[in-house]
Chain A
């Protein structure tokens, strides 16, 4: 958490465009994650959430626009940006031939964490989310949930100032989800770090996120606190989501057609 910054803002995205050939996954996206904030990115499958996150962590080079992590551009200063980020990908695919212990040791080495600190943190996080019983089995043999737990431990190991979490809870058991939520809140309230997380689960967004951005076909079609998004309708976040993505009619038609059998 002691890395010097060029900017106090954990994440700033301006005019981001990501293309896959002819298909545009993210269109002119701009958003910011403020210090001490958990920002939720909501969107249907293929809305551009993962592409946005991959641009932040250096897995994709944006076709246009800029990304800044505490002022560092991952495309220009990749090492500086990556030092400040902890990332949990949507699909927990890792070194299949390593055990979690070996994997965490590799992460700690690359991130330059002291042995005692790395051990203490790994022990605490692994115990908290009950990932400590399978640390010596090859990752290839672990369930998706256990892989995701290991990724969460790896992402937190260097106490990053920005956490980028792509659907971090979808394979976790309820207990681990609860602990993970606590860890994220601790990360922002006590550490002053920022969190960008994507989710399909409205309940997660409502309970955890300070602000939410709604992505639809690569476009940010709504942004604000939960209350702001609900607006005057005082409906649920789900209703607000469907209204913003202009899909409420589509859902009604789909449900109706299901009834027709």
Chain B
């Protein structure tokens, strides 16, 4: 290690607790730290950052575990009976890499604002430290944001390939693809983060700019949607490849291989499986894979070189985008509940992490709706898929609902001085979650009706689930507000309050999911009866939860 790197490493180890402090307490974003001795603040912050990294890593490990199971011999016969083993392996491993990329990228977008707002590099810039050393401090701090999740990917992906395919060579063969994934995720986090800093976060106010911001966010969310899309549509995608493979010789497969997000994922399959489709005389696909892999590796090297320099410059980038011409000042105040809702939408429109929570259920609804339109032939099929889509929308909206509470960390030190009741705060956020559910359901309904026109059945399902969605959101936000009032700290992002989000999302998930489960059990008897029971349970949940959740928050001002 050169002197400059050694000094950079020493400085980053001093600066890192500061980064953790800002990640947990978001002081520069207007939050107030709890009233505990200052020495305990950094210790607690550092510990909680580690806990949150463990949580993300556990999620990655869970995905890896699922992939190991999918790679066991014989499983492909169930999912993709016509697909050659090596193609199946390549598809599954490619899916794993895409999921890892998306999760790490998404994590990066969650934690980057902390890196930027910590102001560590500008502080070091004015000290007599060589600028190259300061740049390296920035690079090392940036890497530390991802350390545990990135290490989890780096270790578990080869282990998954080795165990799943029963070959240590397969584990080694996936290593270049794994490293490329980590480099791409970090580079994408930084590049998209900078883009959004200037064009979304720094965007002026006004309806026109708001539309442009949401369009940018939609563009950004589409690739990030891959994470969820692969989980939802992965098996169907493999099945589709299987049917393509059954219908023709190798040319479509060559095209598929070259189109894979990670052609490097094909190598373990070829190593682990005996000669198959791509061996012997059929050298063209192998050449396509080799070429595509080379391109990917080249890109990864370029991205790594860019990453070595970019984080430092990024942390000094001005957020100011286009300066807006002053408009006449006219305020349009509303009631407090609507004010919370509008404020959250405005904050989300400049914060990709929150925008994603809004766009995910909507994109999911569009994807499943289009799938329904294209694939389902009869009322029964359409209803099944539409009901599944509505159920997914309900579960997604309530599962991600607690994260909307994190918006409150911004300006928390000021908004707590306002006469805003906990009840208004909760109802504002519950309204947002409910609207997300209704909008997602409306998209599915619209697309399903184009295929089979039977609005009563679809509407019945949506309406029967509605009280359960409201109940789940009330429960989650009621508990979070109660905890925040007592602890004096709102739940923040994935890296600072992950445990709390998980702790309340699970009961919320159960409340939203119970009527759906009962419907599933009873639908074979009669759909009408199932809907009736579902609505009854849903209403009962809302009655019970609203009394508890709003009771918890009664009279409290933040």
Contact = CB atoms under 8 A, between A and B. Distances in A.
A179 interface: no
Interface string A21-64: 11100000000000000000000000000000010011110000
Interface in B295-338: 318-320, 323-324, 326-327, 329-336, 338
A243 interface: no
Contacts of B330: 115, 119
Contacts of B349: 97
Given A21-B36, A59-B416, A59-B417, A109 B346 contact: no
Nearest to B318: A141
Most buried by B among A22, A91, A93: A93
A83 B419 contact: yes
Interface string B197-212: 0000111111000000
Nearest to A23: B37
Interface in A66-111: 78-80, 82-83, 85, 87, 89, 91, 93-99, 101-102, 104-111
Most buried by A among B29, B411, B555: B411
B329 A87 contact: no
A141 B201 CA distance: 9
What interface size band does chain B fall in? 35 or more
B30 interface: yes
A148 B333 CA distance: 22
B329 A135 contact: yes
Nearest to B29: A96
Contacts of B117: 96
Q: Determine chain B's interface SS by DSSP, over half rule.
A: loop
A45 to B, nearest CB: 14
Contacts of A85: 417
Interface in B407-422: 410-411, 413-421
B350 A110 contact: no
Nearest to A99: B205
Contacts of B319: 138, 140-141
A74 B394 CA distance: 39
Nearest to A101: B205
A234 interface: no
A137 interface: yes
A126 interface: yes
A132 interface: yes
A59 B350 contact: no
A119 B329 contact: yes
Given A78-B419, A93-B414, 6 more contacts: A20-B37, A82-B557, A85-B417, A101-B329, A135-B329, A140-B319
Interface of B: 27-32, 35-38, 40, 117, 201-206, 318-320, 323-324, 326-327, 329-336, 338-339, 342-343, 346-347, 349-351, 410-411, 413-421, 424, 555-557
8 contacts: A18-B35, A23-B37, A82-B417, A89-B414, A98-B346, A101-B205, A105-B331, A110-B424
